[in-house]
A and B are shown apart, each in its own frame.
Chain A
Amino acid sequence: MSLTTFFTEFVKLLNVQTIFNCLWATGFGIIVGMLPGLTATMGVALLTGLTFRFASEQVVVILISVYVGAIYGGSRSAILLNIPGTPANAATCIDGNPLARAGKAGYAIGLATTSSAIGTFIGLVALAVFSPMLGRIALSFKSWEFFTLAIFGIVICGNLTAPKDPLKGWVAGLLGLLLSQIGQESIGAYPRFTFGSIQLSGGLSLIPVLVGTYGVSEIIGVMKMPVDYTVSTKVERVVPKLSDVFGYWRTILRSGLIGVIVGAIPGVGEDTAAWISYDFAKRRSKKPEEFGHGSYEGLIASETGNNACIGGAIIPVLTLAIPGSAPAAVLLAAMWLHGIRPGPLLPIEQPAFIGTVTAIFMLSTIAMTLLGLSFVRPMVKVLQVPRTILMPIIFTLCAVGSFAINGRLFDVYLMLIFGVIGYFMRSNDFPAAPLVLGFILGPMADDNLRRALVLRSGSLAPFFTRPICQVLWALTLFVIISRSPIPGMIQSLFKRRESRA
């Protein structure tokens, strides 16, 4: 993508309606991200339903702005409350909160804002540079590659989103794939698992499932806790010194790069990017002893990493129609709903679209920086609203968002059911991201496996002879073998026998 395309698309965005939508959506994102329990995925899913009647180009502006705002907004509660606003900001707590306790809350917020802005910028540069390149490779993808890619995505996502117990990540991914099979299939239009219900014949709608899994389950989780929180830290100087930010340019570049790479891996999102960036920064730092005690470098690393991940997560969305993270999955679904068809053919069908998305990123980065540095004290007030008042209001928005797309109450029931399922999954350490990724990739895996078998009269050979498939299978098998619990089980079985003997 050329710079001219980028500037042309950026200038096109400079109208009152787009700027207004970008500003309120970024502000909404910051608030959603800031409130513990409400995630970026929930914010994007909620607004997908609520803005259903908007023009498609405005919807893309709104959803990207919410996404950017929410990932950044979570740093506020991480710094002020030691509670990450979204999972992406968990690493921010470690150094952000000690800074707040040392009386530098405002300064920590300023540093987080600046590094988030730089991170998002690195992400958008990567999006502009790598999307057309990956797009060209994606044109050579056929059914065999798409099926293998879906399996690879689920295995990698399950492994990285449940690092302590990948088996539970894979279970969540398989469950998502299986649930996506409900409804009429694409080859023979046979209604699968519908039990004669017309509501089920169209399949489970993605937005109610997502709003339930990420929104309602979080509401239940928040209401479970007996205590609330208050902010007692004073917020003073906000704008950071340039030397405090750019003194760590190596950390910024490294974290940005890590964020982009982690983002581009299917389903693996901002939380993983932030942790890996933080870990690398600590290992490479000249002052590792300061990490955990209010290190500027640690805070910068995690916030640059999680925001750079956004651009990375959008790359596979645009080129392969495979989401790089859970909020990107909702963005992909929203694009489908509004008639935009991301995938290998996007550069041919809508050649300017990658440029438009990059320009929207730029606009939302500017909005985030302005809002982040200017409305610090009023926004902190939102954290003081008691959850017993906030949560029912959010639930009503979830219900409206789920209902809005198809206009049927069935989707609101679905939202609640998935909210309960999501809550119990999460409380038993089953991650939600692979479930969502499986739900998105299910139809793709189904269509492409059966199409591939039909094309070669049932031969499985092309799955293992085509070069891209070979690489993907090798990586998939490596992850399964290295992280499978079976060797550990066999080992402990032998130990038990030995001890009995």
Chain B
Amino acid sequence: MRRSDMVSGSIIIVVAAFFGIMSLSMPWHASEWGVYAAPGLVPLILSILLLSCGLVLILRAKLDKAHYDRMERLNAEVPACGGEDESDAASTRSSDKSNLNEWQRILLTIGIAGAYVLVLGRMPYMLATGLFVLAFILAFRGGSVVKAAITAVATAILVWFVFAKIFLVTLP
């Protein structure tokens, strides 16, 4: 957690510095009310506050080991919730047999979703949606090709019908 706080703190400092520098480059005396109505005033204040929080986060990760010991104790004290107990009424099973690790699953989800978002508007909506659902189920090995294809076609048609025809929503 200390390492991830160092990384988070660094990202926060970079983001805050970026917004702060951009705020300073805005016009500060363009209006008749001068600096009080300047567009960069509030973003600059917020950037400084965010930068300070980022610095505290980094300094804490470097200096305050006791905080992380305390956090570990607190995390251990949280009441069991989420199916850790093997005697639970709910049993766990795997609907996807892809044998991917956590990071691969995250990247695969973002990757397929990203591809879908990029093709939206460039090909017919129903085709893009059908292909996305098909690719998603197959990539995570959530079912046979036939099952995936039926789900994909049904989803594409149903979403189009419900939202374009009943809810009168514009589709991408």
Chains A and B form a bound pair: yes
Q: In the complex, what residues of B have CB within 8 A of residue A392's CB?
A: 112, 132-133, 136-137, 155
Q: In the complex, what residues of B have CB within 8 A of residue A419's CB?
A: 113
- Which of B42, B80, B89 makes the CB contact (< 8 A) with A445? B42
**CB-based contact B43/A178 at 8 Å:** yes
**CB-based contact A396/B110 at 8 Å:** no
Query: In the complex, how many angstroms separate the beta carbon of A191 from the nearest chain B beta carbon?
Result: 9
CA of A181 to CA of B43 in the docked complex: distance in angstroms?
Answer: 7
CA of A419 to CA of B120 in the docked complex: distance in angstroms?
Answer: 17
Which residues of A from 19 to 42 have beta carbons under 8 Å from B? Answer: none
Question: Is A253 on the interface with B (CB-CB < 8 A)?
Answer: no
Q: In the complex, what residues of B have CB within 8 A of residue A400's CB?
A: 159, 163, 169, 171-172
| Known contacts A97-B88, A386-B142; is-contact A193 B54 (Cβ 8 Å) | no
| B130 to chain A: closest residue by CB | A396
| Known contacts A165-B71, A392-B132; is-contact A224 B105 (Cβ 8 Å) | yes
Q: What are 25 A-B pairs at a CB distance below 8 A?
A: A82-B89, A83-B82, A101-B89, A165-B71, A168-B57, A175-B12, A177-B46, A178-B16, A190-B26, A193-B19, A220-B109, A226-B102, A227-B92, A229-B93, A392-B112, A396-B116, A396-B132, A400-B172, A403-B172, A412-B120, A450-B36, A453-B33, A453-B37, A457-B36, A485-B60
CA of A181 to CA of B75 in the docked complex: distance in angstroms?
Answer: 35
Work out how many contacts link A and B, with CB atoms closer than 8 A: 266
Q: Mark A378-411, 1 if CB is under 8 A from B, else 0.
A: 0000000011110111011101100110010100
Question: Is A200 on the interface with B (CB-CB < 8 A)?
Answer: no
Binds B, one of A117-125, A304-312, A487-495: A487-495
Q: In the complex, what residues of B have CB within 8 A of residue A78's CB?
A: 81
**CB-based contact A219/B90 at 8 Å:** no
Question: Is A57 on the interface with B (CB-CB < 8 A)?
Answer: no
CA of A457 to CA of B37 in the docked complex: distance in angstroms?
Answer: 10
Question: Is B146 on the interface with A (CB-CB < 8 A)?
Answer: no
CA of A230 to CA of B94 in the docked complex: distance in angstroms?
Answer: 10
| Known contacts A53-B168, A93-B81; is-contact A167 B63 (Cβ 8 Å) | no
**CB-based contact A489/B63 at 8 Å:** yes
CA of A430 to CA of B9 in the docked complex: distance in angstroms?
Answer: 12
Question: Is A366 on the interface with B (CB-CB < 8 A)?
Answer: no
- Which of B75, B90, B140 makes the CB contact (< 8 A) with A232? B90
Q: Main secondary structure on chain A at its contact with chain B?
A: helix
Query: In the complex, how many angstroms separate the beta carbon of A203 from the nearest chain B beta carbon?
Result: 13
Q: In the complex, what residues of B have CB within 8 A of residue A233's CB?
A: 89-90
Interface residues of A (CB under 8 A from B): 49-54, 78, 80-84, 90, 93-94, 97, 100-101, 105, 164-165, 167-168, 170-171, 174-175, 177-178, 181, 185, 187-188, 190, 192-193, 216, 219-220, 223-224, 226-233, 292, 386-389, 391-393, 395-397, 399-400, 403-404, 407, 409, 412-413, 415-416, 419-420, 423, 428-430, 445-446, 449-450, 453-454, 457-458, 485-486, 488-489, 491-493, 495-496
**CB-based contact B140/A416 at 8 Å:** no
Query: In the complex, how many angstroms separate the beta carbon of A479 from the nearest chain B beta carbon?
Result: 15
10 closest cross-chain pairs (CB), A and B: A388-B142, A386-B95, A392-B136, A453-B36, A81-B90, A190-B39, A93-B81, A233-B89, A227-B92, A446-B42
Q: In the complex, what residues of A have CB within 8 A of residue B163's CB?
A: 50, 400, 404
Q: In the complex, what residues of B have CB within 8 A of residue A386's CB?
A: 95-96, 142-143
Add 15 more A-B contacts to A82-B85, A181-B19, A185-B39 (CB < 8 A).
A54-B167, A82-B88, A84-B81, A93-B82, A105-B89, A167-B57, A167-B60, A227-B93, A227-B94, A388-B140, A389-B142, A392-B136, A404-B170, A416-B113, A457-B36
Q: In the complex, what residues of B have CB within 8 A of residue A492's CB?
A: 63-67
**CB-based contact B64/A489 at 8 Å:** yes
Q: In the complex, what residues of A have CB within 8 A of residue B116's CB?
A: 395-396, 399
| B108 to chain A: closest residue by CB | A223
Considering residues B23, B80, B90, B169, which has the most beta carbons from chain A within 10 angstroms of its beta carbon?
B90
CA of A387 to CA of B37 in the docked complex: distance in angstroms?
Answer: 51
Query: In the complex, how many angstroms separate the beta carbon of A489 from the nearest chain B beta carbon?
Result: 5
- Which of A52, A192, A413 makes the CB contact (< 8 A) with B43? A192
CA of A77 to CA of B45 in the docked complex: distance in angstroms?
Answer: 44
Query: In the complex, how many angstroms separate the beta carbon of B106 from the nearest chain A beta carbon?
Result: 5
- Which of A82, A185, A449, A488 makes the CB contact (< 8 A) with B67? A488
Q: In the complex, what residues of A have CB within 8 A of residue B102's CB?
A: 224, 226
CA of A284 to CA of B82 in the docked complex: distance in angstroms?
Answer: 27
Q: In the complex, what residues of B have CB within 8 A of residue A54's CB?
A: 167
Query: In the complex, how many angstroms separate the beta carbon of B41 from the nearest chain A beta carbon?
Result: 6
**CB-based contact B8/A174 at 8 Å:** no
Q: In the complex, what residues of B have CB within 8 A of residue A396's CB?
A: 116, 129, 132-133, 155, 159
**CB-based contact B172/A409 at 8 Å:** yes
| Known contacts A232-B89, A492-B65; is-contact A216 B79 (Cβ 8 Å) | no
Query: In the complex, how many angstroms separate the beta carbon of A445 from the nearest chain B beta carbon?
Result: 7
Which residues of B from 130 to 168 have beta carbons under 8 Å from A? Answer: 132-133, 136-137, 140-143, 151, 155, 159, 163, 167-168
- Which of B42, B83, B112 makes the CB contact (< 8 A) with A449? B42
- Which of A101, A165, A415, A450 makes the CB contact (< 8 A) with B41? A450
| Known contacts A171-B54, A488-B64; is-contact A395 B94 (Cβ 8 Å) | no
CA of A185 to CA of B23 in the docked complex: distance in angstroms?
Answer: 12
**CB-based contact B88/A101 at 8 Å:** yes
CA of A496 to CA of B64 in the docked complex: distance in angstroms?
Answer: 10
| Known contacts A101-B88, A388-B140, A488-B67; is-contact A228 B93 (Cβ 8 Å) | yes
| A446 to chain B: closest residue by CB | B42
**CB-based contact A230/B56 at 8 Å:** no
**CB-based contact B8/A485 at 8 Å:** no
| B43 to chain A: closest residue by CB | A181
CA of A319 to CA of B170 in the docked complex: distance in angstroms?
Answer: 33
| Known contacts A187-B39, A216-B113; is-contact A82 B79 (Cβ 8 Å) | no
